[in-house]
Structure 1
Amino acid sequence: MLLFLKFLLAHILGDFVLQSNKWVKDKEEKKIKSSKLYLHISIHALLLLILLEFKLNTYWLGLLVIVSIHFIIDLLKLYFQNDKTKRNWFFIDQLLHIIVLLLTTSIYQSLHIDFAKIFTQQNLLLIVALFLVTNVSGVIIKVFITQWSPETKINNDDSLAKAGRYIGILERLFVFIFILTNHWEAIGFLLAAKSVFRFGDLTSSKDRKLTEYILIGTLLSFGFAIIIGILYSYILNTI
């Protein structure tokens, strides 16, 4: 585990801390001809050497594997990504890097995953609760309030794409966490904060239906999160 954490720390420092936006743009424009690409890879190699305490006799193969494959993955991303797929390629790139770090760690240490400890009753209950709070609640709320969806909301919508969905997911997650940590006052603060940001929508709109639509959606969202949080806490204490 310690070895993997060293590999991971080197990756985080090299990819996120010590890489500027100018370097990223230079790599995207010049690709394999970019000097910043080779500088980026060199920094990764140096970080690995430092964290591995320069023990090349022991870790030379792991260092070679991580650095060379990191270069190949970055190069593939630069040539295959475009403006529409850049976000997807970012996550693919990071996932591939983590997989390489795990596989390289297995060269020196056996990686044994005990699924029995992962899929415990408590963990499965938490996973179910999280899906209920995020996806399931969102779908139920959408189905329930679409019968009142005001035309002004559809015809004059300047909001970000899917912003309402993600806001709802985040607010329900926050409420769920506040209940688990027994900070009920934070739920009131969150509701007040959302009301302040929504105040412009509620006051500037002449459509009373839009105001009621927003209020119903907000109250349902908070209500589902509170109910699921209470049920989860109760069931967790009984098992």
Structure 2
Amino acid sequence: MELLLLLLTAHFISDFYLQPAHWLTYRNSHHIKSLGFWQHVAVHTLLNIVVFLISDIALLPAIIAIVLISLAHVLTNHWLSYRSNKLSFLLTTQSFHLLLICIIWAYLANFTIEQVTSFISSFLSAKNLIIAISYLLVCKPASVIISLALKKHTDSLTQHSNGSTENTTIEENENIGLVSAGAWIGYIERCLAISFIFMGQFAGIGFLVATKTIFRFGDLTKNKDMKLTEYMMLGTLLSYAIALFIGWNVLQIYKVL
């Protein structure tokens, strides 16, 4: 386990702390010919050499592991240099690196197929699956339920907004929120809410409600629209009600399993 933690530490330090922004800029513009490209690979290689020097691993397996990790960074950095700066690309490459590190560690630690299978089976236990399902439920399914429950009020607000379009100024148009931000806020707040329930920290839910109220208060006061205020309150209360219902019931099921 110490080797795995050391490899992960070396990876995160190399990828996020010892990679200056100008290396990334040069890599994206000059690709594999960039000096920053190879400097980044060299940093990874050096840190992994240090890891294996302080670990009790035979020389040949250590060399093979270092070469594989370095080669993986050459390939992923070359691939990333032709891609735009998107979260999906970052998560893809990071998942690949973490998977490779885990495979190398499992091989060097002499894990058998039976041990790996047993670990996966224990990881996919009923208790873990019910927790995972609860997070899935409070995201998209909960958003669909809230959307359908408030559809009548949403349509009413839309008609009200269309009726007052002629009085809308340019500044008001520029004050429109981010696309899909409301949905993501809902996902995060409900995930945090059930997390607090699982940890037994119900005061954290009150903190979330208070925080959202503070940030929303200024916008609602500025608009002076009673319908919009009630609509936002309904959405917020329904969101937390769903999170509390799912979280509490999943917690009871978890205790029984």
TM-score for the superposition, normalised by structure 2: 0.83
Question: Are residues 1:217 and 2:249 paired?
Answer: no
2:203 match: 185
2:39 match: 39
2:48 match: 48
Q: Which deviates more from structure 2 when the two are superposed, residues 190-199 or residues 152-161?
A: 152-161
Cα displacement (A) at 1:166 = 1.1
Identity of counterpart residues, as a percentage? 30
Aligned partner of 1:82 among 56, 81, 84: 84
Q: Which deviates more from structure 2 when the two are superposed, residues 204-213 or residues 69-78?
A: 204-213
2:149 match: 144
Equivalent residues of 1:153, 1:210 under 8 A apart: no
Across the two proteins, how many residue pairs are aligned to each other?
236
Cα displacement (A) at 1:101 = 2.0
Structure 1 gap segments, 5+ residues each? none
Question: Are residues 1:237 and 2:239 paired?
Answer: no
Equivalent residues of 1:27, 1:78 under 8 A apart: yes
Amino acid at match of 1:110: F
Aligned partner of 1:168 among 164, 183, 186: 186
Corresponding residue SS for 2:19:
coil
Cα distance in 2, alignment partners of residues 163 and 92 from structure 1: 23
Cα distance in 1, alignment partners of residues 205 and 127 from structure 2: 24
Equivalent residues of 1:180, 1:229 under 8 A apart: yes
Cα distance in 1, alignment partners of residues 252 and 111 from structure 2: 39
Question: Are residues 1:64 and 2:67 paired?
Answer: yes
CA deviation profile, 1:169-188 (whole Å, cap 9, x unmatched):
11111211222222222222
Structure 2 gap segments, 5+ residues each? 166-172
Cα displacement (A) at 1:119 = 2.3
Cα distance in 2, alignment partners of residues 236 and 107 from structure 1: 34
CA deviation profile, 1:98-138 (whole Å, cap 9, x unmatched):
23223333442336132331222211221221112222212
Question: Are residues 1:113 and 2:117 paired?
Answer: yes
Aligned partner of 1:123 among 116, 128, 140: 128
2:12 match: 12
Q: Which deviates more from structure 2 when the two are superposed, residues 62-71 or residues 156-165?
A: 156-165
Cα displacement (A) at 1:219 = 0.4
Cα displacement (A) at 1:67 = 0.5
Distance 1:189 1:82, change over 3 A: closer
Cα distance in 1, alignment partners of residues 131 and 101 from structure 2: 28
Amino acid at match of 1:208: M
TM-score for the superposition, normalised by structure 1: 0.89
Distance 1:220 1:153, change over 3 A: farther
Question: 1:94-113 residue pairs with structure 2 within 5 A?
Answer: 94-108=94-108, 109-110=110-111, 112-113=116-117
